[in-house]
Structures are given as C-alpha cells and as structure tokens.
Amino acid sequence: MADSKATNTEEQAKDVLLSGERLDHLLTRDLQIIQSPEVFSFSLDAVLLARFAGVPPKGRILDLCTGNGVIPLLLSTRTEARIEAVEIQPRLADMARRSVALNGLSDKITIHEDDLRSWVPQHSGTEGIFDAVTVNPPYLPMHSGEHKGNPHLAMARHELGCTLEDVVAACSKAVRAGGRVSMVHRPTRLADIIVGMRRYRLEPKRIRFVHPKPAAEANMVLIEGTKYGKPEVRMLPPLIVYEDSGSYTQELLDVFYGRKAELTDTKLQSDEEGRA
C-alpha cells in the first residue's frame, strides 16, 4: 500500500515540478517536498525547529519565513491544528503551495505570499489569534557577507526582507496571550533574540543548543517564549547531531525517520505549561 501511494505521488509530481526542481522525501508519513538548489532547499535547522516547537493538539499555528513550506508539512504530523504560513518570495510560496497540494494537505495548511511586516491574518483583533508561532528567519544581518548573487538564497540567508526585530514583532503580534513562539537561529544572536523577545512581551522559557559533535561549539540554538509568560527560562540538554564516529546520533535518527515526533521531554513541557 505504501509503495502504491509513493508511486502515485511521484506520478502526480511530474505535472507540478518546474525546471530545476526535484521531489525529496521527508522520511516521515510518506511526505514529499518540492525543492530546487537554484532557489531554496531546507536544512537541518528547519527539521529541528518543527520537532522542538511546542504546538497544541488543535487550534491555529502560524509559520513565518516558511520558505518552501517544510516546517508546516512536518508540523502536520504532530497536530490536528490548522496551519498558516507566510513567505515573501513568490517562487518559494508557489513551491510551498504545490508541495502542500501534492501531499493532500490543502485543507489543513494555507500558504500566504506576503510580507510578515505588514501581513494581517483574517478575523484578527488587537490580540493575536494563533496558539503557536514558529519561525526560521534569515540569520545574517544585511551588512554581513556578500549577497549580490542568487537573490532567492540571499534573501533566505540575509536580513534583506526583514530584520530580527521585525520577526520578533510579527511573532508577538500574531500569537495569543499564553501562546508560544519558537525560533531557530545562530547562538551568536542569542542575546539579541532574548532582548527582542522581552521587548515584545515574549518571555523566553526554553533554550536548547545544537552542537555538530559532542566537543564542538554550538552552531544553532532553539528558543521558545510564551506571550506574557512569567520570567523563568530552562536550559535543556544539548542536542548533538553527530557522534565522534561521524554517524548521526540516535536522537537525530529518530527525528529524521519520524520515530520521535518531538525533541522535548513531555514532563518538562507539562511543568512549563503550569508555570506559564
């Protein structure tokens, strides 16, 4: 049955793939995603954020800077909530929509082509309407490095379309009181993230550093805050990507193959909810 489903999906993909695009497997729930090295391909940070983020079993979730929609696709395996996503680049938003349709998830995931700095969700009032918000924003400040080459990759990597403050402000505006905002970023920006979150009434609650190997310096940080939460942040155990031998750690393998739906300890998460 699984082989038949995969074959049917691959046949459908022939009609939706554009020049330079390919179809990749997400290794969980038979999900597939349209990618293009010329435009955008997701990386480990997006997968880890989708498994780290605290999400409700039902309700509404928003993903900002969605790229080709990998985070909404992965989140759909963890919750029955409605998921909306915002992407400023037309080509990426189009890829995300086609991937959502290809996986039969158009009734659960909606992709908006818009600017997170001005986008306003339907039926929103003065307070946010989303129970959870996720975001994998551009990591590099606009003035850092060279970004005159591929415009798609430049915007995904550098703060050309939005700054870190723009991102945090949009997250705070979108999430309801008591809701969660989860982000993946570079550890070098952690101080800026924490200051920004508190400025926009998002109290940092959970932080987990990601290390390529046990003795290596962290190269990613996962952080989650609660809207109007009480001050108390917990440092989770470090997440190690590779063993010293070069093979993936068991936790990463469990995430990749869908054997583990989330990275966090469920008891710790329950304790946090009681303290929010």
pLDDT in tens, 127-162: 799 999 999 998 777 665 555 566 656 655 655 668
Sign of CA dihedral 64, 97, 93, 139: positive
CATH code for the domain of 203: 3.40.50.150
Residues found in the chain: 276
The pLDDT of residue 260:
76
* Residue 109 predicted with pLDDT over 90: yes
Q: Indicate the number of domains in the chain.
A: 1
Cβ contacts of 218 within 8 Å, gap of 6 or more: 187, 209, 210, 211, 238
Of the ranges 98-107, 249-258, 263-272, which one carries the lowest mean pLDDT score?
Answer: 263-272
Q: Is 7 inside any structural domain?
A: no
Distance between CA atoms of residues 153 and 216, nearest Å: 27
7 against 38, higher pLDDT = 38
Work out the pLDDT band at 179, boundaries 50, 70, 90.
very high
What SS3 class is residue 76?
coil
Q: Is 257 inside any structural domain?
A: yes
Q: Is 110 inside any structural domain?
A: yes
The crossing angle, in degrees rounded to 10, of helices 164-174 and 190-199 is 40
Q: Is 264 inside any structural domain?
A: yes
The pLDDT of residue 149:
63
Q: Is 253 inside any structural domain?
A: yes
Q: Is 19 inside any structural domain?
A: no
- The mean pLDDT value for 175-183 works out to 97
Q: Is 56 inside any structural domain?
A: yes
What residue numbers bound the domain in which 127 lies? 43-271
* Residue 248 predicted with pLDDT over 80: yes
The pLDDT of residue 12:
62
The pLDDT of residue 235:
96
Work out the pLDDT band at 240, boundaries 50, 70, 90.
very high
74 against 30, higher pLDDT = 74
Judge contact between 32 and 13, C-beta under 8 A: yes
Instruction: Find how far residue 77's CA is from the centre of its chain.
Output: 14
Q: Is 48 inside any structural domain?
A: yes
53 against 120, higher pLDDT = 53
- The mean pLDDT value for 182-188 works out to 97
Q: Where do runs of H (alpha helix) occur along 130-225?
A: 151-157, 164-174, 190-199
DSSP 186: -
Q: What's this model's pTM, rounded to 2 decimal places?
A: 0.87
Work out the pLDDT band at 124, boundaries 50, 70, 90.
low
